A and B are shown apart, each in its own frame.
Chain A
Amino acid sequence: MFTAIFGSVEQGFIYALMALGVYLTFRVLDFPDLTVDGSFVTGAGTAAAMIVLGYHPAIATLVAIFAGFLAGCMTGILHTKGKINPLLSGILMMIALYSINLRIMGFTIENSVGRPNIPLMNEGTIFSQFFSWWGSLGIDDTINGFLTSLGIQYVPKTWGTLVIVAILIVIIKFIFDWFLKTEVGLAIRATGDNKKMIRSFSANTDTLVILGLGISNALVAFSGALIAQYTKAADIGLGIGMIVIGLASVIIGEAIFGTKTIVRTTIAVITGAIIYRIVLALALRVEFLDAGDMKLITAFIVIVALILPQFFEKRREKSRKAKRHALRESEVLALNRSKESENLA
Chain B
Amino acid sequence: MLKLNNINKIFNESTADEKIALDRINLTLNVGDFVTVIGSNGAGKSTMLNMVSGALTPDFGQIYINGEEVTKLPEFKRSKLIGRVFQDPMSGTAPTMTIEENLAIAYSRNKKRSLKIGVDKQRKELFLHSLESLHLNLENRLNAKVGLLSGGERQALSLLMATFTKPSILLLDEHTAALDPSRAELITNLTEKLVKKDNLTTLMVTHNMQQALDLGNRLIMMDKGQIILEVGEEEKKHLTIEKLMQEFQRIRGQKLTSDRALLSS
Which positions in A face B, CB cutoff 8 Å? 178-179, 181-187, 189-190, 193-194, 196-205
Contact = CB atoms under 8 A, between A and B. Distances in A.
Contacts of A203: 76, 105, 113
Contact of A186 (B92, B93, B105, B110): B105
Contacts of A185: 118
A181 B91 contact: no
B108 interface: yes
Top 3 nearest A-B pairs by Cβ distance?
A193-B94, A183-B113, A202-B79
A191 to B, nearest CB: 9
Given A201-B106, A205-B76, A183 B114 contact: yes
Interface stretch (B8-16, B96-104, B184-192, B231-239): B96-104
A337 to B, nearest CB: 39
A178 B118 CA distance: 10
A205 B82 CA distance: 17
B118 A193 contact: no
B57 to A, nearest CB: 15
Query: Interface on chain B toward A: helix, strand, loop, or mixed SS?
Result: loop
Contacts of B78: 202
A190 B78 CA distance: 18
Given A187-B113, A189-B94, A196-B91, A202 B104 contact: no
Interface residues of B, number: 36
B101 A194 contact: no
Nearest to B80: A202
A262 to B, nearest CB: 10
Tell which of B91, B97, B109 has the most Cβ of chain A within 10 Å: B97
Nearest to B110: A202
Query: Interface on chain A toward B: helix, strand, loop, or mixed SS?
Result: helix
A203 B116 CA distance: 16
B97 A190 contact: yes
A204 B108 CA distance: 13
A333 to B, nearest CB: 35
Contacts of A200: 53, 75, 79, 82-84, 92, 162
B32 interface: no
Given A201-B109, A202-B79, A183 B94 contact: no
B95 interface: yes
A198 B118 contact: no
Given A197-B92, A199-B76, A201-B109, A186 B101 contact: yes
Given A197-B94, A201-B105, A181 B117 contact: yes
Contacts of A183: 104, 108, 113-118
Interface string B66-98: 000000000111111011101000111111110
B91 A182 contact: no
Contacts of B84: 200
